[in-house]
Structure formats: C-alpha cells, structure tokens
Amino acid sequence: MKDFTSGKEGPLILRFAMPMLIGNIFQQLYNIVDSLVVGNFLGRDALAAVGASFPVIFALISLIIGIATGSTIIIAQYFGAKDYEKVKRAIDTMYIFTFVASIIVSLAGIYFVEDIFRLLQLPEEIMPKAKSYLTVYMAGMIVFFGFNGTSAILRGLGDSKTPLYFLIISSLVNIALDLLFILVFGWGVTGVALATVIAQGGAFVTAILYLNKTHKIIKFSFTGWVFDRSIFYNSIRIGLPSGFQHTFVAVGMMALMGIVNTFGTNVIAAYSVAQRIDSLAAMFAMNFGQALTSFTGQNIGANKLERVKNGLRATMLMGSSISVAVTIIVLLFGKQIMGFFTPDEFVVIYGTRYLNIVSPFYITFTAMFVVGGVMRGAGDTIIPMFMTLFSLWVVRIPLAFILSASMGETGIWWAIPIGWLSGMLLSYIYYMTGRWKTRGVIKH
C-alpha cells in the first residue's frame, strides 16, 4: 500500500504508474498476439470478427466498470483519511455488486449477441465467427470482473505492483493458450476467446489465494462480506455518471463500428488492427490518468489540494513526452507494423491511412485523459460525463457520418481526433473553474 499524501509528486506518480504500464504492456501483448495469430493463421474474416466484438463487449460492461470506479475512488479517499474500517466495508460492497452484475451482463450478452451484430450491420460472412467469439467471452464475465475489480481495489490502496504480477501471469498463459488452441487444436476464434477466459480466471484465483495469505485489508471470502448501503450510495453517486459516460462512449464506439461496417471486410479488418495500435499509444495516457486518479483521491481525502495541482503538471509532462515519441514511431513505421498483423495488401493500405491521420493527435488524447484523472479522483464525474457525451455524440459520430459520405472511410478517421480535441478543450476549461475541489466524499 502506498501513501500519496507526502513526498515529491512526480516521482511518486511515476513509480506508481510504471507497474501499471508494464502490466498493460503485457495485456496489450496478448491482445496483439491474438490479432497476430488470428490475422496470419485464421484470415481476414476472423480478424474482422474479433475486432467487431470489442465495441460490443465494452458496451455491455461499461456501466458496471463506471460504478466500480466510484467504489475505487471512495476506497482511495478513505485510505487517504486513514479510515481503514470504511476501506474494508467499501471493498466488500464493491465485490458483492460486481459479482451480481457480472452474471446479469453474461446472460444479456449471450442472449442478444446476434441481435446486436445485426443492428451494427455486420457483414453476413463474418457473423458466425463473431457470434462464436463473443458468446464464449461473455460466458467468462465473472472472472473478468473479479480479476479487474481486485486489481482496481489494490490500485486504490496505492498498490500497483501486485496487480502487475498477476497480469503478467495472465498474459503469458493467454499467449500460450492462443497458440495451443489455434495452431494445435484448430479451434479458431472460439479458441481465442476461451484462452482469454481461462487466463483471466487463473490469474483471479491465484491473486485471491495470494492476497488472503498476505494482505492486511483484502480478505476474499464468500462469507462474512458486508454490504454497506451508504457506501454503495456514494459509489453510485460518484460512479454512475462515470458509468453512463462509459456506456455512451461504448455505444458511440458501436455506432462508429456500424459506420465502418458499411465499408466492407477490408476496412473492418484494417480498423480492428489500427485500434490495437491505438491502444498501445492510449495505454500510457490511461495509466498515467489512473495513477493520477489514485493520487488525487488520497490527497483530496487528506485536504492537500496543492499536491493535486503539482501532480497534474508532472503527469502531463510525462504523458505528453511519451505520446510524442509513440506518434513519431507510428508515423515512421506504421505500414510495417500493419504488415505484421496481416498479409492482406488492402487491409495494410487502409490501416496505414488511418494511422497517418490519427496518430499525430495522441498527445491530445493524453491531455484529455490526464485532466480527467484529477476530476475522477476528486469524485467529480457528472460534468465530465456531459463533456464526453458532447465530444462523442455531438462531434465525433455526426462528423464520421457526414464526412464518410463524401470522403469514404477517411472521413471516419478524421472524426476521431477532432472528437478528442473537443473533449480535451472542454475538460481543461472545466478543470480551471475549480469546481472539482468540492466534490470529495470526505468533507473538511
């Protein structure tokens, strides 16, 4: 557990963010291996099927993730205030909620899988593979929520190293199972999804066994849990706007995917691969933002607002420097990177065009996410929710629809960074108002 309420802000945030970054590198590694194996051994249709499933998965889990985020913020604030009994009750409440929610999400995803894909105008030639992949993935939601919920709790307590160790284990197991299920057993995209579920489940069980023996606060058991209504209410108050934000972002991703789907399998496959590369760039911004959220939560709890401002400046400098470096690499080697995923010439051409348009704006995404990290850590999530909805539904989606009619798929690619830019400007303007300073759970 890490106390963020004293010490030099920049080094503290960097040391906390690094294990998460390394963990996400491993997580992205097995996502990339999924796409590499699928693209090179199962073909373009399978690559498009797996890629088309991710916006659907995100849409189904996003509301729960948002509410769980509210719980994590509360955990961080109680920990900053040194109220360990409330920390324990908040952890129990989060586990009870996420496990019930995971069962509901699993059943809904499995039942409505075909209807969702038809709504998104998914081409018929890739429908069977997409359904197989998504059905297996949805069946494993309980271990997904369990593993990621445990990792989020630990980060709220200032521990980013322990989640890293179990994420590394999960990533390596996932890669090994991918190769086994696809190259040896020939299970296709079903094997890809099954590998992910088994890897996540194994990491979750291992993490719980380890934490029950070693951790001072987290003791996972299906008996003795306490559901605290007041803590759950605060989790809803803080997390529900974030959950709605995640949900509308996810639905926006589905809407964007629906526009992409009208341009055929080549463009779908190219977009799927380019999104993998985007995720590598975005993970730096997202992890620095998550680190700043925990940092802000503890310092808001301790009533140390000046440290929050210093932390934002340090995080922005670190995140922006990395974003510029990633942009240069993608612009120089985008075509070669696309070629690793698929031998299909047209997919490579479409994907490279996407990267050339979007990658110069990675720094914009970073600034948006880092500033958002302060507001999330402070418990101020309602206004940021509306700003996100504006940038997505008023800017990005309408622009993608309008520009794609005259510019083809290139119009969709331009709509993405324009949406980021509007979100970044709105977030910074709201941060400067200072309203976020009064949104904490603990009143001073």
Per the domain annotation, does 271 fall within a domain? Answer: yes
Is residue 191 within 8 Å of residue 182, measured between CB atoms? yes
Query: What backbone phi and psi angles, to 5 degrees, belong to 140?
Result: -100, 20
Q: Which domain holds residue 252?
A: 9-438
Identify the CA nearest to 310 among candidates 320, 290, 297, 295: 295
Does 443 fall in a domain?
no
- Split at pLDDT 50, 70, 90, the class of 312 is very high
pLDDT in tens, 237-265: 777 776 777 777 778 888 898 899 999 88
Is the per-residue pLDDT at 156 higher than 80?
Answer: no
Domains in the chain, number: 1
Q: Is the pTM of the predicted complex or chain greater than 0.75? A: no
pLDDT digits (tens, 9 = 90+) for 277-305: 888 778 888 889 888 988 888 888 788 88
Q: How far is CA 117 from CA 17, 53, 59, 95, 268, in A?
A: 36, 9, 12, 31, 13
409, part of any domain: yes
Task: Decide: 279 and 359 in contact? Cβ < 8 Å.
Answer: no
Question: Torsion angle, CA of 382/388/389/391, rounded to 10 degrees?
Answer: 150
Per-residue pLDDT tens over the stretch 422-444: 999 999 998 988 888 776 556 55
List pLDDT tens digits, range 125-144.
889 999 999 999 999 998 88
Task: Kindly give, in sequence order, each residue whose CB lies less than 8 Å from that of residue 219, ignoring residues fewer than 6 positions away.
Answer: 211, 212
- pLDDT band for 2, please (50, 70, 90 cuts): low
Is the pLDDT at 221 greater than 80? The verdict is no
CB 440 within 8 A of CB 378: yes
Question: For residue 2, is it within any domain?
Answer: no
* Within a domain: 49: yes
Question: Tens digit of pLDDT for each residue in 75-109?
Answer: 877 887 778 888 888 888 888 888 888 899 899 98
Average pLDDT, the chain: 85
CB-based contact 67:236 (threshold 8 Å):
yes
